[in-house]
Structure 1
Amino acid sequence: MPQVPRPRRGTSPSLPSGADARDAGERLSTARLDLALTIRQADERFFGRFGGSPETLCGRAFGELVHPGFQQALSGQFAGLVEGRRERFVTDIATVGPDGASRTVALTAVLVRGGAADEASIMVMLPGTGTERAEPAPEAADGPDGRMLSPVHARILEGIAAGLSTVPLADRLHLSRQGVDYHVASLLRKLQVPNRAALVSRAYAMGALRAGAWPPEVVRDFVRD
């Protein structure tokens, strides 16, 4: 189990915003996590994104700011950094803002090594507010009672929310890979989203996926008989 690094004595919980930050992009928000994925430092843009301050956000787990539907898959990505199997990753996640609304953004995470093993940390970077992908309203429901998902669509949505890719989804549902891709494309059109990450975010936002349930579960009211 990796040792959790402690913040250095006298270190401010706010990251500086000098030339390095400007070079990375004026609207980028950044935070530094320890290897337990606890927020240790962040810049003002990060605090503003989540409606917090150094006092309210530093010391919290970064995962608390991520939509529940993305937390398990993201933990696996971070484990690769902590265990030294990779140096960085970029992935789509849904963050939860101070208003409780979810926004799909691209997260970049980079392992930063210090002079000693216990100085290693993880830098996370998010695009500035205003660059998130908006979630448009889905198409009108197909069924007369407002149910918009077929049973196959529901099972595929649950699998995607659990982090399954095309091949394990095909095995689980006894479909070909082409069949899975066809149904996924249909779901993307139905919910008017560009990719699988946004699909999961949209499904949680509209209540089609039950909040707090694991494995992910589609609410039966959205499924046609």
Structure 2
Amino acid sequence: MDLTRLDPVVWRNRTMLLFDRIPMPVAVCDVYGSVLLANPAMAAEWGATPGSLRGRDVLELFRPQEATQVERIAQALRLRHRSRYPVSVRWDAADGVRRHGELTADPVSDGPDGTTALLVLVQVLGECPDPAGPPAPPPVSAAEARILELVASGATTARTARETALSVDGVNYHLRRMSTRWGAANRTELVARAYTLGVLKPGVWPPRVTSAE
């Protein structure tokens, strides 16, 4: 079979079929990074169709971790260099997971006179750990911490007053303040909120606060 005599339309159809079946995210962009064509794997990262990504800035979809990498690509394109340019990127995928990977931009053209497009491939390297972690528990004073520990252990107001060298009114004052801050209607709810907010350590008996001012 003489491949050189195949109709250009046949070549185009076969190329598009291969493009669509590539399992990694791939896009063709103009020299400014605007998506011209995206394959289904690229669109799947955003829970979208390939056509809906047309016109999107690829560096807004996949955020570079270092601006200097993008600057090097821009300079190379101005100088008409034709090397492969990797960029470390992160993005928030459609499933809500933040991922990281490597985006590679390959300048391509129909002739030697200049670059007409960029072939962009994204290699998914994994998921990003949550840098923030769980929120810090709200601060409590030393007196509030001790009162909270005693109340959580089932101590009465009178016993809590004796243990903390406060009056009954003093204990109730601190309990009201914490209840107001955390929106608790009663002591049972106050203790539950303290565990939910991370003020009281889970799985510890007798109850202990995480930290106190």
Query: Into which bin does the TM-score normalised by the smaller protein fall?
Result: 0.3 to 0.5
Higher relative contact order (CA 8 A, sep 6+): 1
TM-score (norm 2): 0.46
TM-score (norm 1): 0.44
Bigger radius of gyration among the two: 2
